[in-house]
C-alpha cells in the first residue's frame, strides 16, 4: 500500500568537523533541526559524535543519545558503518588507502583490521537495537572490483569465488543483525563489489537470500553508471529499506565518458551535485517509492564539487520536504462513484 515517508533527514558525515557546532552530537543535531531536518543519520566511526562501543553495551548511553536528539528536535534515522563495512572485505591493492578507515594501531595489519571491522559491524547491530532502530546502512567492501572491466580476460571462476567469499564474511554478520531485529542496508556504490542490481543479486545469492540483506538506495551512483534508477525501484523495492537523497550529473564529451579520464571531481563528466543542481529525477523516485510503500526516511547525503556544504544543507531540507508525497487515503474519482451490490454487479454483466 502507498505510504507517506518520514523526513526530511540528513547524514552527518560530510558536516562533522573540529569547530562548533559540528564537533559534538547535541550542537550538530540542533543545527540540523534549525535547517528543517527531522532526522539525522549518524556516522559511527566519528568519536566526536558517537561512541559505538559504549552504545553497544549501554542502554543508558543510548537513551541519553536519543534524549539529546529529541531535545534538539530530531530523531536518529540509522547508524552508518560505511567505513567499517568497507574493511570487512578489502582487496590488497587498496590496503594503504583503506588503512585510514581504521585505528592507527591497525595500519599495515590487514588481518587485524578486518577482524576489527567485523566486530564494529556487530557492535552497530547491538547499538541499533538499543536505539530502537529498524535499519543500518553500510558498504559490502570489495574483493573483485579491481577486475570489474573484462580486460585482461578474467580467469574462469574469479567472480564466483569473490562473491562466495563475500558471502562467507557477511552471512554471520547478517545473522547478528537478524538476532537484533535490524536490516543491514548496503549502499550500491562503485568501489564495492556490489554496485548495481546484477551484483546485488550475486551477493544476495551468496548470503542465501538473507532477509536482513537490503539496499540503501542512492540514485546518484546509478546515474553515473547510466543505469535506469527508476526501473531499479520497480525490480528491487522489496529490498529498499533506506534512501540516500543525492544528486549527480553526467555530461559526456568527446574526451571522456563514464570513466572520466582520471579527472578530479570538478572536471569529470560524471559529478555529484547538491540537490536540484544535477539531473536526477527525484519526482519520479519519490513517486515510485511512495507507490511501493516506502515508509522510512529520505536522508540527504550531501556531496558537491561546486557548492558550499552549508548552503547545500540549507537547501536540502526544503527540497526533500517538497518531494515527499503525502499519500492520499481515497481515490480521486470517488466523488463520481455510487453504491453497488452483488445483484447490480451481475446485472451490469448481463446476468
Range 288-307 average pLDDT: 97
Cell of 187: 549502499
| Cα end-to-end distance, the chain, whole Å | 33
Return mean pLDDT, the chain. 96
Count Cβ atoms within 10 A of the Cβ of residue 7 and give its class: 0-12 exposed, 13-18 middle, 19 or more buried: buried
Dump strand ranges (E) for the chain.
9-11, 39-43, 75-81, 135-138, 183-187, 213-217, 240-245, 247-250, 270-273, 298-300
According to the model, what pLDDT value does residue 249 have?
Answer: 98
Q: Which residues contact 336 (CB under 8 A, 6 or more apart)?
A: none
According to the model, what pLDDT value does residue 1 have?
Answer: 66
Reported as a pLDDT band with limits 50, 70 and 90, residue 341 is confident
Judge whether residue 328 has pLDDT over 90: no
Percentage, residues of the chain above pLDDT 90: 93
Count Cβ atoms within 10 A of the Cβ of residue 330 and give its class: 0-12 exposed, 13-18 middle, 19 or more buried: exposed
Q: Cβ of 188: how many Cβ atoms within 10 Å?
A: 24
Reported as a pLDDT band with limits 50, 70 and 90, residue 345 is confident
DSSP summary character for residue 142: B
Confirm if 69 and 25 have CB atoms less than 8 A apart.
yes
Residue 279 within a domain = yes
Reported as a pLDDT band with limits 50, 70 and 90, residue 33 is very high
Percentage, residues of the chain above pLDDT 70: 98
Confirm if 214 and 185 have CB atoms less than 8 A apart.
yes
DSSP summary character for residue 46: -
150-194: per-residue pLDDT in tens? 999 999 999 999 999 999 999 999 999 999 999 999 999 999 999
Range 338-350 average pLDDT: 84
According to the model, what pLDDT value does residue 6 have?
Answer: 96
Residue 22 within a domain = yes
DSSP summary character for residue 102: S
Instruction: Specify the range with the lowest mean pLDDT, choosing from 169-173, 315-319, 343-347.
Output: 343-347
Q: Cβ of 351: how many Cβ atoms within 10 Å?
A: 7
Dihedral angle sign, alpha carbons of residues 92, 97, 99, 101: negative
**Structural domain for 48, as ranges:** 9-348
CA–CA gap between residue 80 and residue 94 (Å, rounded): 21
Range 224-244 average pLDDT: 98
Residue 20 within a domain = yes
Range 308-312 average pLDDT: 97
According to the model, what pLDDT value does residue 3 have?
Answer: 80
Q: Which CATH number belongs to the domain containing residue 298 in this structure?
A: 3.20.20.150
Q: Which residues contact 38 (CB under 8 A, 6 or more apart)?
A: 6, 7, 8, 9, 73, 74, 75
117-128: per-residue pLDDT in tens? 999 999 999 999
Up-side HSE of residue 27: CA atoms within 13 Å toward CB? Answer: 11
53-95: per-residue pLDDT in tens? 999 999 999 999 999 999 999 999 999 999 999 999 999 999 9
Confirm if 187 and 196 have CB atoms less than 8 A apart.
no
Residue 49 within a domain = yes
CA–CA gap between residue 137 and residue 13 (Å, rounded): 13
Residue 162 within a domain = yes
Residue 342 within a domain = yes
Residue 3 within a domain = no
According to the model, what pLDDT value does residue 72 have?
Answer: 98
Reported as a pLDDT band with limits 50, 70 and 90, residue 344 is confident
Judge whether residue 337 has pLDDT over 80: no
The structural domain count of the chain equals 1
Cell of 225: 553508471
Residue 148 within a domain = yes
266-286: per-residue pLDDT in tens? 999 999 999 999 999 999 999
Amino acid at each position: 500500500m502507498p505510504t507517506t515517508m518520514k523526513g526530511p533527514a540528513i547524514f552527518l558525515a560530510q558536516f562533522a568537523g573540529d569547530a562548533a557546532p559540528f564537533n559534538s552530537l547535541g550542537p550538530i543535531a540542533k543545527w540540523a533541526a534549525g535547517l528543517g531536518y527531522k532526522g539525522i543519520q549518524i556516522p559511527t566511526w566519528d568519536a566526536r559524535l558517537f561512541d559505538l562501543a559504549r552504545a553497544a553495551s549501554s542502554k543508558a548511553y543510548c537513551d541519553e543519545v536519543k534524549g539529546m536528539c529529541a531535545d534538539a528536535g530530531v530523531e536518529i534515522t540509522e547508524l552508518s558503518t560505511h567505513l567499517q563495512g568497507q574493511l570487512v572485505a578489502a582487496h590488497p591493492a587498496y590496503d594503504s588507502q583503506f588503512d585510514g578507515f581504521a585505528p592507527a594501531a591497525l595500519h599495515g595489519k590487514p588481518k587485524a583490521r578486518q577482524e576489527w571491522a567485523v566486530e564494529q559491524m556487530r557492535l552497530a547491530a547491538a547499538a541499533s537495537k538499543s536505539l530502537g532502530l529498524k535499519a543500518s546502512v553500510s558498504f559490502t567492501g570489495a574483493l573483485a572490483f579491481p577486475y570489474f572491466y573484462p580486460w585482461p580476460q578474467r580467469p574462469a571462476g574469479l567472480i564466483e569465488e569473490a562473491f562466495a567469499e563475500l558471502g562467507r564474511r557477511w552471512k554471520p554478520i547478517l545473522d547478528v543483525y537478524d538476532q537484533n531485529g535490524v536490516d543491514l542496508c548496503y549502499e550500491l556504490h562503485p568501489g564495492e563489489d556490489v554496485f548495481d542490481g546484477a551484483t546485488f543479486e550475486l551477493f544476495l545469492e551468496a548470503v542465501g537470500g538473507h532477509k536482513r540483506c537490503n539496499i540503501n538506495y542512492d540514485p546518484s551512483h546509478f546515474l553515473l553508471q547510466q543505469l535506469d534508477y527508476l526501473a531499479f525501484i520497480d525490480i528491487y523495492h522489496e529490498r529498499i529499506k533506506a534512501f540516500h537523497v543525492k544528486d549527480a550529473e553526467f555530461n559526456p564529451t568527446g574526451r571522456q565518458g563514464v570513466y572520466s579520464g582520471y579527472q578530479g571531481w570538478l572536471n569529470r563528466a560524471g559529478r555529484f551535485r547538491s540537490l536540484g543542481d544535477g539531473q536526477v529525477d527525484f519526482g519520479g523516485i519519490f513517486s515510485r517509492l511512495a507507490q511501493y510503500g516506502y515508509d522510512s526516511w529520505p536522508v540527504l547525503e550531501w556531496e558537491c564539487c561546486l557548492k558550499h556544504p552549508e548552503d547545500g544543507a540549507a537547501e536540502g531540507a526544503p527540497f526533500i520536504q517538497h518531494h515527499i508525497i503525502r499519500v492520499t487515503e481515497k481515490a480521486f474519482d470517488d466523488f463520481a462513484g455510487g453504491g453497488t451490490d452483488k445483484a447490480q454487479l451481475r446485472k451490469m454483466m448481463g446476468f
